[in-house]
Homo-oligomer: A and B are copies of this chain.
Amino acid sequence: MAEKSGDPVSCADLSVKRPREEEEENGISSIAMEMEGDTNYTSTKADGISAVISGWFSEISPMWPGEAHSLKVKKILFQGKSDYQNVMVFQSSTYGKVLVLDGVIQLTERDECAYQEMITHLPLCSIPNPKKVLVIGGGDGGVLREVSRYSSVEQIDICEIDKMVVDVSKQFFPEVAVGYDDPRVKLHIGDGVAFLKAVSAGTYDAIIVDSSDPIGPAQELFEKPFFETVAKALRPGGVVCTQAESIWLHMHIIEDIVANCRLIFKGSVNYAWTTVPTYPSGVIGFMLCSTEGPPVDFKHPVNPIDRDDICGKSKRPLKFYNSDIHSAAFCLPSFAKKVIESKH
């Protein structure tokens, strides 16, 4: 059974074309455009692609061509257009309430625990006694909710560009926006890049970049100058965790991010991932890096939050994160390992 050539779709070659190349051929033949069912709810066609048709929200994007995940809609609760994006909240039939920005699902009540807990505890459990933490994006407040579990933390800054996201989350997702109730939290509405540039060097122990995809307002957050500013704002041995797309869909984007991070961060540079059913391909990745200084071993948490004495009994229990799943998140399938580790 020798290997045959011409395997039509190799796992190692899965990645879609970069969004720029894809845009032109994405075309219009999407569910949203071709279907002619009853439009029971106001469509979000302003987004270009995704839409609510016949009681279903279908998520279609050039970031994941040829596939769409759909959720049944019970009721649209909010639709607005901010200075930056279209904002929608709907009550789904089986995933609780859902927050959608520019046609892309940001969170559902049913599976938000996985993303919020992992993007927060992967970096914060990897350093002893984090004191100053910055969140870029994350306007829904879920990351704040998780950061607030750490009694060592003294200051939690958040810089979110879109006030409408904050307001909508406070109105419709109280279990997520509860993060804002922590008195250590200071909200800055504005551009994350500009905010970081104004920060004194070495200010933060940890920076968490909870961004949307690199199409739209978050584009700059995936580029090299941004990572340079992040590195400057961190103390020696400080850590950053940024949303870093899907190994099944965006290997080219991940390759670029990893290459940039290896140039900029002189400590550790690692990729981790987790399951989130309502994100495209069902997984989402995180780039974890540390600056030169006290070494950080991301794979072996030194500050375990899942111990009762740290987590605190006054908080809601962790639903997803534990120390085992922390370490497991760094184990990559062979096709991804090959690409990511070749950047060494």
Residues of A within 8 A of B (CB): 1-4, 7-12, 14, 16, 29, 31, 34-38, 53-56, 58, 65-72, 92-97, 109-111, 113-114, 145, 148, 174-175, 178-179, 181-182, 248-249, 275-277, 279, 281-283, 306, 314-322, 324-325, 327-329, 331-335, 337
Contact = CB atoms under 8 A, between A and B. Distances in A.
A121 to B, nearest CB: 11
B35 A53 contact: yes
B34 A316 contact: no
Given A66-B72, A92-B66, A282-B275, A334 B314 contact: no
Contacts of A148: 1
A7 B337 CA distance: 38
A93 to B, nearest CB: 4
A1 B34 contact: no
A222 to B, nearest CB: 22
A331 B11 CA distance: 24
A37 to B, nearest CB: 4
29 contacts: A1-B179, A1-B315, A4-B174, A4-B178, A8-B175, A11-B113, A14-B110, A31-B54, A31-B56, A34-B54, A35-B37, A35-B53, A65-B93, A66-B92, A66-B94, A68-B70, A69-B70, A114-B333, A249-B277, A275-B281, A275-B282, A277-B282, A277-B283, A279-B282, A319-B334, A319-B335, A322-B334, A327-B331, A328-B329
